[in-house]
Amino acid sequence: MRRKPGALLPIEEAILAAGLDLRRGGSSEFHGFSIAKRMQDIGEAQRLTAHGTLYKALGRMEAAGLLQSRWEEPDLALAEGRPRRRLYRMTGTGERAASTIRTESERPILGRQAGLAPS
């Protein structure tokens, strides 16, 4: 499946929306697994039990400059007895793309043109 240059796929929109919500809630960073759970909670997007879709989308979005990631401190993960997390943050580009989503959501007639630059 190919995408229109500059367009966002539904899952990418969902990720950006989740990032905005978390930002609003005081957390500027999030990790893949929490996004997956969040999407399950609100019954949004595909179930994503197969995380393949999500993690691939995260990878694409980072490559496209919408997100930026870093690995969390290893000792923190050990202290909490769980695997290490890859933490994501929205870039300025991502925030603008997210804003455009909301704007366009209010105007469904218009085509979507924000987001990813053509490769």
Partner DNA sequence: CGATTATAGGAAGATATCTGCCTGATGCCA
Partner DNA sequence: TGGCATCAGGCAGATATCTTCCTATAATCG
Restricting to residues 41-80, which ones interact with DNA according to CB under 7 A?
46-47, 49-53, 55-60
Work out the burial of residue 108: count CB atoms within 10 Å of its CB; fewer than 13 is exposed, 13-18 middle, 19 or more buried.
exposed
Which listed residue (15, 16, 66, 85) binds DNA by CB under 7 A? 85
> Which of DNA, a second copy, none lies near 58, with the C-beta cut-off 5 to 8 A by kind?
DNA
Which listed residue (25, 74, 83, 108) binds DNA by CB under 7 A? 83
Stretch of 4-12, 19-27, 89-97, 99-107 lying at the interface with DNA (CB under 7 A): 4-12
Burial letters 4-34, b for 16+ CB under 10 A, else e: eeeebbebbbbbbbbbbebbeeeeebbbbeb
Restricting to residues 31-90, which ones interact with a second copy according to CB under 8 A?
71, 74, 77-78, 83-84
CA distance 116 to 101: 12
Task: Please report how close the Cβ of residue 51 comes to a second copy at its closest, in angstroms.
Answer: 14
